[in-house]
Structure 1
Amino acid sequence: MCREIPGDMQGSGGGVSMRILLIMDPGIPVPPILYGGHERLVSLFAEEYQKLGHEVTLLAGPESHCSGKTVTFGTNDLGRSKQVRFKEARFVWKYLRKNRDNFDLIHNFGRLVYLLPILNSPVKKIMTYGRPVATGGIKIVNSLPNRNLIFTACSDNCVATGNIKGHWETVYNAIDFSQYTLNYKVGTAAPLMFLGRLDRIKGAHTAIDAAKATNNQLVIAGNVSHTEEDQAYFKTVIEPQIDGTQIKYVGPLNDAEKNMQLGQAQALLFPIEWDEPFGMVMIEAMACGTPVIAFRRGSVPEVVENGITGFIVDDAAGLQQKIAEIDTIDRFLCRKTAMERFNAEVIAHNYLQLFNK
């Protein structure tokens, strides 16, 4: 069940070197090939901690790797059974009992239950959430003896879903801006873009309506989940409107394709119908200089700087109005502003400073 892969343990950077363990659930490898938001973040921070001179160990699913040491466990299957998940938790418990004194910081992006054996040990622990928090586990953990445990979530909005007990901090998500190319200028005929999982709550149908109402081309990219409800939404609402000319669907994108498609777009449309905890695609677009027009839900007011990196709107009419004003956004300033807030180096530093507060 476990495979250990040696890696280059030499890093660079100033300060005291720490031994850091990053934990992620199996199901999707770290880094992911296509879909996998948290898996992408774990990979990013593993590499960034290593660059800063720390010794990094990654504990994650099969086919995972990083520049430090990687220990793999479990099964890459998002539909795996509760029995398999329990076996995975037992593996992590055994690993932590044996190795907890070998680390200065344990940064867990996986299940909270993984931390049970070390809750009251002196090692510093960060439990990071990227989706709405189930508070039952938080109550249980905080009813037990614990120390040196900080909970983080990717926005104030997300923190508010779990901040019932314990020490909570907001630490935003990040990307590596060096992997995205700034496109200083696009033409008036450049397409709009929708990028995200094609569920109704992500709002692809609203993006299509806006493109048609403003006579713009729209490129839709993203995966269709396998649930019956989402399949029906795509087949009955989205697919009939894809004509290959004004409304194009290009499927899931790898990193190179994402960089190309986002960079050549006038704007990214983000008309969400739920309280999105963060929305990585927004800063991926900004990294290309592409402004975001988004509904005022969830983390959007924290991520989008109105009039600088895009526009925040309240409804479909507002979305259409701001499409007409998108050329007032300076694409260079859009990227620069977002990079100052969300680049991986900035956010990694924010995590490592938590225990100095």
Structure 2
Amino acid sequence: MKILLIMDPGIPIPPPQYGGHERLVYMFAEEYTRLGHEVSLLSGPESHISGQVYPFGKNNLKRSKWQKAKELLLVWKFLLIKKRDFDLIHNFGRLAYLIPVLNSHVKKVMIYGRPVAQKGIKAVTACPHRNLIFTACSDYCVSTGNVSGRWETVYNAIDFSKYDPADQVKPDAPLMFLGRMDQIKGLHTAIEVALETGNRLLIGGNIPDTADNLRYFKEQIEPEFDGKQIIYLGPLDDRQKSHYLSQAKALLFPIEWDEPFGMVMVEAMACGTPVIGFKRGSVPEVITEGKNGFIVENKEAMIQALQKIITIDRAACRAFAFSKFDVSIIAKHYLNL
């Protein structure tokens, strides 16, 4: 099968550091190639995959609306010329990219990794269209956009082969928090849990750049860093994430918003590390109680769940998560659609 993946410019594929969707696009491109398909990629400059790359636009997350309008026209021109060259268009970018091919024979899968703007879904499905499937990364995320058209839940994926699991850790192993240090991610709660239970807490992630979250970081988070019990590691690449997660007894995920998926939960599970997460968004879909972690309502319940963390078999935690979230599983799910 001839497959075209589309991604907005802004960050090259694969991303040099952070870039969740860009990382997904690269993984699927390589997995589809491994399965014997002919894969092409329409994305920003400096991207590369094993197949053909068609670069367009600029890699600048703060590029102007005019630049984005020009990029839209470039994609429309490309699809009008090339639409018969592909059996499947797998779109991780803007829904508007698909307008020229909505009613064409080529199969189209539109992917969402965040809450969906229903206005766009209604507008597109009101037009003549065929062979169009919408997917989102969790049942929760599907529920935000499922107002029209065909919808399916397809979870996000990681490549489990990139993570080195640890089947056992020491009793005094640290806890870990991984992610943006925005207030809605709940790092302040993770710090409180560590301090109240006497555990060390390893923290990996970027310092916020928005004014409100930077103030939160400076006033509530940074003063707690002591390098001994509350330890800030900085931004982590894949190798570093695997190293530190495999050492941790648990990943804390005390979110204060409805997280669409939460990739860091699966990254922890790939290392055999169970997750204790607040019951928001997709957390009940990613964590299966007692198998790869615990779902809790608040800080007090998170502390109580820590006492049960040794009951989870780390090898079984990884194996169970692999069966649901490895790229080999999810790529086949997309192709089966």
What is the TM-score normalised by the length of structure 1?
A: 0.93
How big is each residue's C-alpha offset from its partner over 1:97-143, in whole Å with a ceiling of 9 and x where there is no partner? 11000000000000001001100100000000000001111111011
Q: Which amino acid aligns with 1:131?
A: R
What is the TM-score normalised by the length of structure 2?
A: 0.99
Moved more, 181-190 or 152-161: 181-190
Match of 1:110 among 60, 83, 93: 93
Q: Which amino acid aligns with 1:176?
A: D
State how far apart, in whole Å, the 1-side matches of 2:215 and 2:261 are.
Answer: 26
Moved more, 67-76 or 105-114: 67-76
Match of 1:35 among 3, 18, 23: 18
How big is each residue's C-alpha offset from its partner over 1:27-75, in whole Å with a ceiling of 9 and x where there is no partner? 1111112211111111110001001100000111121111111111111
Match of 2:297 among 286, 290, 314: 314
In the TM superposition, residue 224 of structure 1 has moved relative to its aligned partner by 2.3
CA contact (8 A) 2:156 2:263 kept: yes
Counterparts of 1:33-182 in structure 2 under 5 Å?
33-182=16-165
Which residue pairs with 1:251 in the alignment? 234
State how far apart, in whole Å, the 2-side matches of 1:94 and 1:236 are.
Answer: 50
State how far apart, in whole Å, the 1-side matches of 2:115 and 2:205 are.
Answer: 22
State how far apart, in whole Å, the 2-side matches of 1:322 and 1:169 are.
Answer: 32
Counterparts of 1:170-209 in structure 2 under 5 Å?
170-209=153-192
In the TM superposition, residue 80 of structure 1 has moved relative to its aligned partner by 1.1
State how far apart, in whole Å, the 1-side matches of 2:106 and 2:178 are.
Answer: 39
Q: Which amino acid aligns with 2:182?
A: D
Q: Secondary structure at the match of 2:208?
A: coil
Which residue pairs with 2:284 in the alignment? 301
Which residue pairs with 1:281 in the alignment? 264
Which residue pairs with 2:335 in the alignment? 352
User: How many residues are treated as equivalent by the alignment?
Assistant: 337
How big is each residue's C-alpha offset from its partner over 1:307-331, in whole Å with a ceiling of 9 and x where there is no partner? 0100100111011111122111100
State how far apart, in whole Å, the 2-side matches of 1:85 and 1:340 are.
Answer: 38
Does 1:242 find its partner at 2:248?
Answer: no
Does 1:334 find its partner at 2:317?
Answer: yes
Q: Secondary structure at the match of 2:234?
A: coil
Q: Which amino acid aligns with 2:256?
A: E
Runs (4+) of structure 1 exceeding 3 A deviation are none
CA contact (8 A) 2:208 2:217 kept: no
State how far apart, in whole Å, the 2-side matches of 1:211 and 1:187 are.
Answer: 16
Counterparts of 1:21-32 in structure 2 under 5 Å?
21-32=4-15
How big is each residue's C-alpha offset from its partner over 1:163-194, in whole Å with a ceiling of 9 and x where there is no partner? 00000000011111111111011101111000
Q: Secondary structure at the match of 2:176?
A: strand
Q: Which amino acid aligns with 1:214?
A: T
State how far apart, in whole Å, the 1-side matches of 2:192 and 2:100 are.
Answer: 52
In the TM superposition, residue 258 of structure 1 has moved relative to its aligned partner by 0.7
State how far apart, in whole Å, the 2-side matches of 1:306 and 1:251 are.
Answer: 30
In the TM superposition, residue 225 of structure 1 has moved relative to its aligned partner by 3.1
State how far apart, in whole Å, the 1-side matches of 2:207 and 2:4 are.
Answer: 33
State how far apart, in whole Å, the 2-side matches of 1:300 and 1:177 are.
Answer: 20
In the TM superposition, residue 265 of structure 1 has moved relative to its aligned partner by 0.6
Structure 1 residue ranges without an equivalent (≥5): 1-17
State how far apart, in whole Å, the 2-side matches of 1:292 and 1:270 are.
Answer: 7
State how far apart, in whole Å, the 1-side matches of 2:211 and 2:310 are.
Answer: 40
Moved more, 123-132 or 83-92: 83-92
State how far apart, in whole Å, the 2-side matches of 1:313 and 1:253 are.
Answer: 27
Q: Secondary structure at the match of 1:234?
A: helix
In the TM superposition, residue 251 of structure 1 has moved relative to its aligned partner by 1.2
Q: Which amino acid aligns with 2:299?
A: A
Q: Which amino acid aligns with 1:329?
A: I
Q: Secondary structure at the match of 1:160?
A: helix
State how far apart, in whole Å, the 1-side matches of 2:9 and 2:157 are.
Answer: 21
State how far apart, in whole Å, the 1-side matches of 2:247 and 2:55 are.
Answer: 38
Q: Secondary structure at the match of 1:305?
A: coil
Q: Which amino acid aligns with 1:28?
A: I
Cα RMSD, aligned residues only: 0.7
CA contact (8 A) 2:252 2:277 kept: yes
In the TM superposition, residue 229 of structure 1 has moved relative to its aligned partner by 1.1
Which residue pairs with 2:196 in the alignment? 213
Q: Secondary structure at the match of 1:139?
A: helix
State how far apart, in whole Å, the 2-side matches of 1:172 and 1:57 are.
Answer: 22
